[in-house]
Structure 1
Amino acid sequence: MTDEARPMRADARRNYERIVTTARAMFAEHGVEVPLDDIAKKACVGPGTLYRHFPTRENLMAAVYREQIDALSQRAFDLLEQLTPGDALDAWVGEQVSWVADRHGLAMTLKASLDAGSETFGWCRGRLNSATATLVDAAQRAGAIRADVTGVDLLRLGHGVGVAAQHASAEDTKRLLAVVLDGLHV
Structure 2
Amino acid sequence: MQMTERFLIVDDDPAFTRVLSRAMTRREFEVQVARSAEEAEKLIQSWVPDLATVDLKMDGDSGLILIPKLRQQNPAMKILMLTGYASIATAVEAIKLGATQYLPKPADADQILTALNKIEADAEMEVTEQPMSVNRLEWEHIQKVLNEHDGNVSATARALGMHRRTLQRKLSKRPVKR
Shorter-chain-normalised TM-score: which range?
0.3 to 0.5
Which of the two has higher C-alpha Rg?
1
The structure in which a higher percent of residues are strand is: 2
Please give the TM-score of this superposition, normalised by the length of structure 1.
0.31
The structure in which a higher percent of residues are helix is: 1
Higher relative contact order (CA 8 A, sep 6+): 1
